[in-house]
Amino acid sequence: MFEAAEVGRKIAKSEFKRREPELHTRLLDAQRALRETDIPVIVVISGVEGAGKGALVNRLNEWLDSRGMQTFAFWDESDEERERPFFWRFWRTLPERGTIALMFGSWYTRPIINRVFGKIDPSAYEKDLTRIAEFERMLTKDKALVFKIWCHMSKKAQRKRLARESGHALRDWKLSPLARRYSKHYDAFARVSEQAIRATDTGECPWHIVEAEDPRYLHLTVGMKLLDALNHRLTREASVSAAPDERAVTRRVGTGDETRTVLEQVDLGRRLSDKRYRRQLAEYQRELNGLVWKARKKGIDTVALFEGWDAGGKGGAIRRTTAAMDARLFRVISVAAPTDEEKAHHYLWRFWRHLPRAGHVTIYDRSWYGRVLVERVEGFAPESDWMRAYQEINDFEQQLCEHGAVLLKFWIHIDKDEQLRRFKERERIPWKMHKITDEDWRNREKWDAYEAAVNDMVMRTSTEYAPWTLIPGNDKKFARVEVLKTFRRGLKAAL
Amino acid sequence: MFEAAEVGRKIAKSEFKRREPELHTRLLDAQRALRETDIPVIVVISGVEGAGKGALVNRLNEWLDSRGMQTFAFWDESDEERERPFFWRFWRTLPERGTIALMFGSWYTRPIINRVFGKIDPSAYEKDLTRIAEFERMLTKDKALVFKIWCHMSKKAQRKRLARESGHALRDWKLSPLARRYSKHYDAFARVSEQAIRATDTGECPWHIVEAEDPRYLHLTVGMKLLDALNHRLTREASVSAAPDERAVTRRVGTGDETRTVLEQVDLGRRLSDKRYRRQLAEYQRELNGLVWKARKKGIDTVALFEGWDAGGKGGAIRRTTAAMDARLFRVISVAAPTDEEKAHHYLWRFWRHLPRAGHVTIYDRSWYGRVLVERVEGFAPESDWMRAYQEINDFEQQLCEHGAVLLKFWIHIDKDEQLRRFKERERIPWKMHKITDEDWRNREKWDAYEAAVNDMVMRTSTEYAPWTLIPGNDKKFARVEVLKTFRRGLKAAL
């Protein structure tokens, strides 16, 4: 989930200076328009300790008009608060319609801390999260815009910042004493926070995970996302008849370091020599064969899915994998356009129906992620549908994993040049010609939109129980072996 | 929750015969219209063992066209089912758009049974319920109509039926062997089922609790409710611009035994002599005073709310109660039309803000239940809003109770004649004149609509942790003492 927020996004000082005035003006415009509506806006600022949440809150206070906004910090609880149900403190800070409340710390803070330090058990924590989701749903149904920011920083970046600030005589005070204490529990916080985000990342009030290492990037991105969210709601309010959705566009303004995605983290330079490929292929296939039989005996089922760019080599990787398995034990489901019958059901229905029996393997060549990839980019599904899908997918996969299935999710990545080379090769070589269509060329034109969608997908669906594996695919040999290795690792862990 | 489904509603054979043909025809019409839409309909039939669910399912099969409907029974799980995640069995039975699936037993069955027999702990059960709520929410967002019937029977009625059927040589086979076994755990089933209903009784797919003692009443009522739900959705589909809501009307067709409400269970004949009243009043007030001080010491807060008919005697009962308390320990909040500031927030906000500190008492003279009473009947809130409110209210009250508060909910009941007598008295007696307005007379005309709303309110919000107390109010003296007694009992239990 957080890996997509550890890719080193940055904004140069000069660029920040250039763009800030316009953002500032547009935020004030939106805030003015908001005043005329019956929408209360709740901005929740959460995230890793030391990520600079305080500075972000200050910046938003600088940008927005204080007459329509209030900031609330939730520190130690007062007597008044302690003597009433937990949510009382939040109810009394809820903003009036047409105004904004900025929550620095929120209903998430206490449950997360309690869980990290073992003060509550997993089921109490889950109950807290369910209550939070209900609370936010209730506010949303009452027209509120609940805008949630999670400021993320990698463990390394957090350490670096703490070290720097601690040593700096003038800046030392900026660091809350808690930051030091909490930073010792980075991994636990990450795990517990991920669960909170997953349980409350709904279509109506999604989380925005933003990389916090570069403050300029953090501030500008949060400002733009807030502007988008406000304008989106204001437009919807103005004309209930579906206004064209501008979000996908504004999300991707800017260039360079700012628009980096998790895919750029994939090291496409990795290759395998012919000789090593042949040896490793044979070795891993043999081993996988044994593992699949063992899983059969133990009644453990495996679900693997492959997504990736056109011509990325999904088919080849799948064939090298199934070659290792007994034909009675696996099925490959190729996902193309849905049939009439499938269209007459919920989009997940077509995947549920093919789930393997105990001890079997189902491989999906493209999968339920089509909802948040092609359907999103091509506009086949309205935004409200695909935004909701992340949580539906997470829940679906959680059910699989709770049932004991091994779930493997592959994105096979290639770069744009490599795709072009392969497309041309397909046009040239007779037996590959059938594999290239006009649609492939059309999809290629939407590369950036797809890349943004993949980034969001990894951000919202790479979970503790079902993480994504991003496979470098420029070298097909390397990719195939890597898939086999991951498969083997997954089965071994479950057996 | 179930008390509103134990009031002895019945339909005579002749009336059933008279009304059935029309219902049958209209159901078929609705089913035909449904076919042209993209709405899948899921009918869930659940309820107490021995309530005649099987006969109901048969009846619905008789009424509806089998070409657009399928029935699924969930008995013992098959190998196929066991080897896949629990919900797989339901996914594969989900209906296509435009068709109906009748679920005899459902996703509720196993969690409820597991909980009753202690196979899962409370937190696992809560998790199951959360998952069910998410599942239904997902289906609903995908346009499905999820129509849920709970067939209820009192413990006594269940026993009677089992005894009758067991002895009857020709009908014995109708009784599943499970019915006998489960009937021994009636109370546990009631408690566990109530929790399930509460957790999943959402505005979008509410539960319909129907009294099952009289099969004719059960069948006709379910048929009519299903017809209403279908037509409601079809109308909404046809014109997105709010169609007038016909439900409240059709809900109340029919007369006599069929329209009985929980209020008719209240024994309005109860009275108290002047002498006993004076003695008991003094005694209970003295005792209550001591208890309130004790609660203060222990830091236990009390929230009491009073609802009831105009001129029902709420004010008098509240004054007799507060007379027993130290003025520093209680506050009475009179709830009238919301202020501007209150209107600018969620409707629950105005009640949250007045919650007492530890050890104090807040008494609400009218309360958050206005949402599902006056706002519903007068049309101040659209149906989607007040339907959602039941769950929001239950959740709010649960938070209060989890925090340790004592929560007391009073409905002071009088009959229509008594109200008329009091209205006239108010017009006659100079110092009571200010208490009667034109609005009171207008409200009186809507007596039936209010009574239906009260019945639904008790059905959906009388929970294990916060039950309603219905106070017979024709004799003011009796009512006042009864309120004091309940107050005393509630505090005693908590201390």
pLDDT in tens, B94-130: 998 899 999 998 999 999 999 999 999 999 999 899 9
Give me the pLDDT at residue B417, please: 94
d(CA B398, CA B206): 19
Please tell me the distance from the alpha carbon of residue A428 to that of residue B303, in angstroms, as a whole number.
80
How sure is the predictor about A482, in pLDDT bands with cuts at 50, 70 and 90? very high
Count interface pairs A-B at CB distance under 8 A.
123
> H/E element holding B465?
none
Please, what is the Cα angle at B264 between B322 and B46, to 5 degrees? 105
Least confident range of A75-84, B281-290, B370-379:
A75-84
- What is chain B's mean pLDDT, rounded? 88
Which residues from A are below 8 Å from B341, CB to CB?
A: 96
Distance CA B44, CA B229 (A): 13
More confident residue, A155 or B172: A155
Mutate to test the interface with A, among B79, B123, B362, B400 (most CBs of A within 10 A): B123
User: What number is the average pLDDT over the span A185-208?
Assistant: 91
Hey, is the C-beta of A399 within 8 angstroms of any chain B C-beta?
Answer: yes
pLDDT of amino acid B239: 61
Look up tokens 């459902």; give the residue. B106
How is chain A split into domains, by residue range?
2-260, 265-494
In this complex, do A94 and B126 lie within 8 Å of one another by their Cβ atoms?
A: no
Residue B249 reports pLDDT greater than 50: no
Within a 10 A sphere around the Cβ of B427, how many other Cβ atoms?
A: 11
Radius of gyration of chain A (CA): 24
Position B238 confidence tier, pLDDT thresholds 50, 70, 90: confident
Alpha carbon distances (Å) from B184 to A108, B155, B180, B181, B187: 43, 10, 7, 6, 8
Dihedral class, residue A30 (left if φ above 0, else alpha if ψ from -120 to 50, else beta): alpha
Contact B83 A299 (CB under 8 A): yes
The CATH number that domain B264-494 falls under is 3.40.50.300
**H or E stretch at A81:** helix A79-82
Provide the pLDDT confidence category of residue A59 given band limits of 50, 70 and 90: very high
CA atoms of A396 and B135, how far apart (whole Å) = 10
Per-residue model confidence (pLDDT) at position A338: 85
What tens digit of pLDDT does each residue of A256-294 get? 567 778 888 888 989 999 999 999 999 999 999 999 999
Q: Domain spanning A265-494 has what CATH number?
A: 3.40.50.300
- What is the pLDDT, as a whole number, of residue B436? 84
Q: Give the integer Cα–Cα distance in Å for A309 and A377.
A: 13
Is the pLDDT at A295 greater than 70, yes or no? yes
Say if the Cβ atoms of A86 and B124 lie within 8 Å: no
Tokens 């029977």 sit on residue: B153
Strand ranges across the sheet with A406-413: A330-334, A361-365, A302-308, A406-413, A468-472
Which member of B96, B131, B352 has the closest CB to residue A344? B96
Can you tell me the mean pLDDT for A57-82?
A: 85
Q: Does B357 touch chain A (CB under 8 A)?
A: yes
In the prediction, which pLDDT does B172 show?
55
**What average pLDDT does the segment A93-111 reach?**
91
- pLDDT attached to residue A244: 42
- Residue A90, pLDDT above cutoff 60: yes
Q: How far apart are CA A258 and CA A260, in angstroms?
A: 6
Q: Among B69, B64, B68, B56, which residue's Cα sits nearest to residue B25?
A: B64
- CA A490 – CA A493 distance, rounded (Å): 5
Mean of the pLDDT values across residues A56-79?
Answer: 85
Please give the CATH topology (third level) of the domain spanning A2-260. Answer: Rossmann fold (3.40.50)
Rounded to an integer, what distance in angstroms lies between the CA atom of residue B176 and that of residue B382?
43
Is pLDDT above 80 for A316? yes
Fold of B3-260: Rossmann fold (3.40.50)
User: Rounded to whole angstroms, what are the CA distances from B243 to B58, B226, B374, B376?
Assistant: 33, 18, 21, 16
Task: List, for residues A324-368, the tens digit of each pLDDT value.
Answer: 998 888 888 988 888 888 888 889 998 998 888 888 999 999 999
In a mutagenesis test of the A interface, which of B41, B128, B130 is the best target, namely the one with the most A β-carbons within 10 Å?
B130
Mean pLDDT of A39-47: 95
Q: Does A22 touch chain B (CB under 8 A)?
A: no
pLDDT given for residue B252 in this prediction: 41
Contact A87 B399 (CB under 8 A): yes
Distance from CA of B91 to the nearest CA of A (A): 6
pLDDT tens-place string over residues A365-391: 999 999 999 999 999 999 888 998 998
Do the chains contact at B345 and A123, CB–CB below 8 Å? no
pLDDT value for A40 = 94
Looking at residue A256, its pLDDT comes to 58
Task: Please state, in angstroms and rounded to a whole number, the distance separating the CA atoms of residues B222 and B206.
Answer: 14
SS3 track for A209-253: EEECCCHHHHHHHHHHHHHHHHHHHHHHHHCCCCCCCCHHHHCCC
> What integer is the mean pLDDT of B64-87?
83
The pLDDT tens digits of the residues spanning B160-217 come to: 888 877 666 555 555 566 667 777 889 999 999 999 999 999 888 899 999 999 999 9
Cross-chain residue pair A86–B141, CB shorter than 8 Å: no
Cβ(A40)–Cβ(A95) under 8 Å? yes
Q: Hey, which residues 232-271 in chain A have their CB within 8 Å of chain B?
A: none
- Say if A2-260 and A265-494 have the same CATH topology: yes
Question: CB distance from B84 to chain A under 8 Å?
Answer: yes
Contact across the interface for B355 and A88, Cβ inside 8 Å: yes
Residues in B touching A131 (Cβ below 8 Å): 395, 399
Say whether residue A349 is in contact with chain B using an 8 A CB cutoff.
Answer: yes
Angle CA A405–B132–A112, to nearest 5: 75
The pLDDT of residue A171 is above 70: no
Answer whether A437's CB lies under 8 Å from A232's CB: no
DSSP structure string for B174-235: GS-HHHHHHHTTHHHHHHHHHHHHHHH--SSS-EEEEE-SSHHHHHHHHHHHHHHHHHHHHH
Ranking B48-62, B209-223, B277-291 by mean pLDDT, the lowest is: B48-62
- Residue-wise pLDDT for B356-403, tens only, equals 888 899 999 999 999 999 999 999 999 888 998 998 999 899 989 988
Mutate to test the interface with B, among A81, A123, A298 (most CBs of B within 10 A): A123
∠ CA(A277), CA(A280), CA(A285), 5° rounding?
Answer: 120
Pairing of strands B207-211, A361-365: unpaired
pLDDT reported for residue A68: 86
